[in-house]
Amino acid sequence: MIVGIGIDVCPVERFASAAARERLLARLFTPAERDSSMNRMAGRFAAKEALAKALGAPAGLSWHDVEVRKDDLGKPYFHYTGTIADRVAALGIATVHLSITHDAGIAAAVVVCEA
C-alpha cells in the first residue's frame, strides 16, 4: 500500500547560486553528500524535498537525518536516522523508492513510500 508520494524539481543554476553560501550546504547536506557536482547536489536536495513531501512534511525534520546514497549499481537510496527514521516508523513505511534525474538545467526527484 502506498503511504506517501513526493516529487520535487530544482533548477541547478539557482541551486548553485544559493549554494555559494557555504552555510547552506552545511545545513542541507552531510559531509559525505557535499563531495559531488552541483547537478548531483541539486538532485540530492530535490530528493530530500520529495521525501519530506511524501512524509507529510512534519515540523522538526532534520536534513542531516537523511542522506542520499547510491548502491553498487548506482541506484540512489536513502539512509535515514533520527527524526526521519521516527517519521518513517510512525507511518508504518517498509520501503522507500527514490528516483533522481537531472537534464537541461533541472534536477528532479520522485519518492514513493510503501507500507
Look up 53 and say whether it is catalytic.
yes
Which of 53, 75, 79, 97 does the annotation list as catalytic?
53
The one-letter amino acid code at 79 reads H
Which of 70, 75, 97, 102 does the annotation list as catalytic?
102
Q: How far is Cα 78 from Cα 39, in angstroms, rounded to an integer?
A: 18
Look up 79 and say whether it is catalytic.
no
Alpha carbon 18 to its chain's center: 17
The alpha carbons of the chain give a radius of gyration, in whole angstroms, of: 13
Active-site positions? 53, 102
